[in-house]
Amino acid sequence: FESESPAIADVTRDGLLAATGPAGTTTVRVASGIRETFVPVTVRAGPPRSLAFVDAPPPESAAAAALALALRVVDAFSNPVAGLRIVLVVTGGDGTVEPADGTTDAAGGLQATWRVGTTAGEQALEARAERVAAATVRTTVLPPPEETPAEPPDEPATPGR
């Protein structure tokens, strides 16, 4: 047994085929005596290993700001994991998120918009999926600027006073 691309899949001493790196295709040569055949092999992404925000919100935000978020799920070889359901939950503050859940695309990604709440202080959002640790992002909602009272206009000078 011999793999054309051992960086994708290789044959062990015991004759087992093992994924060794990124997803892809290779051909395995199987030979016995004078006979040989070539078997195409496709290695797909494995189970999810990491769920992460790739576009995190700024550390501080205005009240009710709409923040674009991007998540990515990959396997142990950094292959994108497609078709994984992600649930997004506001865990701190009074904000909302759209969509509240979705499925990763072919690139292992999911896009969402987090509208932070109106209460000043820390706000948090968590992404959850099966078989992988959750990921959390945070931002601090700034209090509204203090309004300074308007000063009364200057009184025009009255002649003779």
In the chain, which ranges are E strands?
2-3, 9-11, 17-19, 24-32, 35-43, 50-55, 60-61, 66-74, 85-92, 96-98, 101-103, 109-115, 121-129, 132-141
CB 54 within 8 A of CB 111: no
| Threshold 0.75, pTM exceeds | yes
Distance in angstroms (rounded) separating the CA atoms of residues 139 and 147? 24
User: Tens digit of pLDDT per residue, the chain (161 long)?
Assistant: 888 988 998 888 888 888 888 899 999 988 888 999 999 999 889 999 999 999 889 999 999 999 999 999 999 999 999 999 999 999 999 999 999 999 999 999 999 999 999 999 999 999 999 999 999 999 999 998 876 666 766 666 666 65
Specify the pLDDT at position 150.
Answer: 66
